[in-house]
Chain A
Amino acid sequence: MTPTELEQKSIEYRKKILKYIKQAKAGHTGGSLSCIDILNVLYNEVMNVGPDNFDSPDRDRYVQSKGHSVEALYVVLADQGFFPETDLETLCQYKSHYVGHPTRKVNGIEQNTGALGHGLAISAGMALAAKMDKKSYRVFTLLGDGELAEGSNWEAAMMIAHYKLDNLTAIVDRNMLQITDRTHNVLNTEPLEEKFKAFGWQVKEVNGHDFAGLTKVLKQGAFETGKPNLVIANTIKGKGISFMEDVLKWHHGVPDDEHYKQAQQELLDQELLFKAK
């Protein structure tokens, strides 16, 4: 897909994220909107994984460490054909597999996540197995910036560099907000680039809503042979909806009827603008 096509796809994804969160009356709205462009690029442009090869030991792997933004993952997986989108009508309902954090009961999901600070270590094991078996698959994990306060991330970061797992790419959805406040007010995790470099990683920074930039950096493979890759994706929480952007209450705020109507209208306008171009 071209960057333009990806951008158009993200508008569609955002509509669906809001639709299903609204229906379920639950969800992590802001974070799903901040990371959706990253997932869009990963699944549509970068990763060798889909419904047809999900059982293959050679597939690329994606572990969503910031599991709470699962609505973004669900709409992308549905679009990829892992399951019918209508399944999402059951989001968060009694006995639905589509719960508020990723589980392997949903086709296309690699690992159950939700407790923060777990994805990087699991990804390390997957990437190490690839090295052991001389396989060429890549492993991606998406971390939140607030999540980096969890110490387990830094245990994993050390180990990943020690074993030179250059087939692993961690992406930080750096939207600078977490449930309580701005990340730097809650617990400052900056400077991220220097920290990861000191841990032996190669780091690149990118606008997390720039499709060409994301595609380029995520497609690249190892930035430097023998070093793991960190992509700091600068994002905006609530991206795409004017009144949600960078506003704390939309961390897990569910739009009421009026907000929902307005949000969908904004996305429709964006789509019309696109078509007019």
Chain B
Amino acid sequence: MKDMELGIPNLVAFAETMEALAAEDKDIIAVTSDSRGSGKLKPFGERFPQQIVEVGIAEQNLVGMAAGLASTGKKVFAVSPSCFLTARSLEQIKNDVCYSDNPVNLVGISAGVSYGALGSTHHSIHDLAVLRAINNINIMVPADNFETQKAITTAAQLNEPTFIRFGKRPMYHLHSSATKFELGKGIKLKDGSDLAFVATGETVYHAYKAAEALEKDGTHCTVLSMHSIKPFDEALLLETANKCQAMITVEEHSIYGGLGELCASTLMQHGKALPLKIVGIPDEYTVTGPQVDIFNHYGISPEGLYQTAKSLLLSELST
């Protein structure tokens, strides 16, 4: 991989992708709940005023109405902060989108602890857990601008109930445009047989930086970007587990019900045991402040992951 360059926020990559899609297809509709500013969709709204619908601060109606629109053949993207979208309107997601099979694309913006300083009302560390338990929904968590653009275009083409969540700070480019992106398939960013970092979303970069630091110490790491939480690339996970001595999962989500438990469950059910550490937000009143400080606090930072890797490998060697 080349030296990583800083890109734009995934939020902006999403909005630009939406514009490109809408220019080609008049059935692409963005639905917002007073969230076109937060969703960087103001330029979209100015360019395609007939393809954006504002419902006001009413997330239940956002999703229910989006389901009705989608039932008529519209390719709908319902855009709202993930904290509200996946909690306030959870029943609409469950029934009107998934159960009724209306192909709404639910876009959870400022997910995880992007709104870190605003308190837990605005944190979204439950979304993967609750949506994983609902039948008939794809879940994608892109790591960089490339993955975001691909997730959005994939969703538009799939025409199935889909949830995509990302944050709002600029992201480093992890991929070239030649990288293959496919729903249900993870992407291997780095290959090594000592330790595997299995990460999702905006923590993938942190895992990668930790792996680079470990490399200098002679520890060779695999780094996976598991952008597709559902369906999940079990084959890649198992192949990686068979090769590596230990595994660390990384996510901007509760340690309950997210990527880590998904990996643990998959490994155990395939008879694969290896030292495993789930890094995420623990079950406590989440500390508040800038996202980067919350990451540092819970060890989701490159330094924190480096230390966790050292501890895990040390304990592995001592047993």
Interface residues of A (CB under 8 A from B): 57, 103-104, 110-115, 117-118, 120-130, 132-133, 151-152, 155-156, 158-159, 162-163
Contact = CB atoms under 8 A, between A and B. Distances in A.
A163 B68 CA distance: 15
Contacts of A114: 95
A110 B71 contact: yes
30 contacts: A57-B73, A104-B100, A111-B100, A113-B95, A115-B95, A117-B60, A121-B60, A121-B61, A121-B96, A122-B67, A122-B96, A123-B68, A124-B64, A125-B68, A125-B69, A125-B72, A126-B69, A128-B65, A129-B74, A132-B50, A151-B60, A152-B60, A152-B61, A152-B92, A155-B60, A156-B61, A158-B56, A158-B58, A159-B56, A162-B56
Contact of A129 (B55, B58, B72): B72
Interface in B27-59: 29, 50, 53, 55-56, 58
Contacts of B56: 155, 158-159, 162
Contacts of B67: 111, 121-122, 125
A156 B64 contact: yes
A125 B65 contact: yes
Nearest to B60: A152
Contacts of B61: 121, 124, 152, 155-156, 159
Nearest to A162: B56
Contacts of B102: 111
Interface in B58-99: 58, 60-61, 63-74, 91-92, 95-96, 99
A120 B101 CA distance: 17
A122 B95 CA distance: 11
Nearest to A122: B68
A152 B69 CA distance: 17
Given A110-B71, A112-B95, A122-B67, 11 more contacts: A111-B96, A118-B91, A120-B64, A121-B64, A121-B65, A128-B68, A133-B72, A155-B56, A155-B60, A158-B56, A159-B55
A156 B65 contact: yes
B65 A118 contact: no
B29 to A, nearest CB: 8
Contacts of B96: 111-112, 118, 121-122
Classify the secondary structure of B's interface with A.
helix
A155 to B, nearest CB: 4
- The dominant DSSP class at the A interface is helix
B68 A121 contact: yes
Contacts of A122: 64-65, 67-68, 71, 96, 100
Contacts of A156: 61, 64-65
B91 A115 contact: yes
Name, among B29, B56, B65, B74, the residue most crowded by chain A CB atoms within 10 Å (CB to CB): B65
Contacts of A130: 72
Contact of B65 (A104, A132, A159): A159
Nearest to B64: A121
B71 A111 contact: yes
A164 to B, nearest CB: 13
A120 B63 CA distance: 12
A202 B70 CA distance: 27
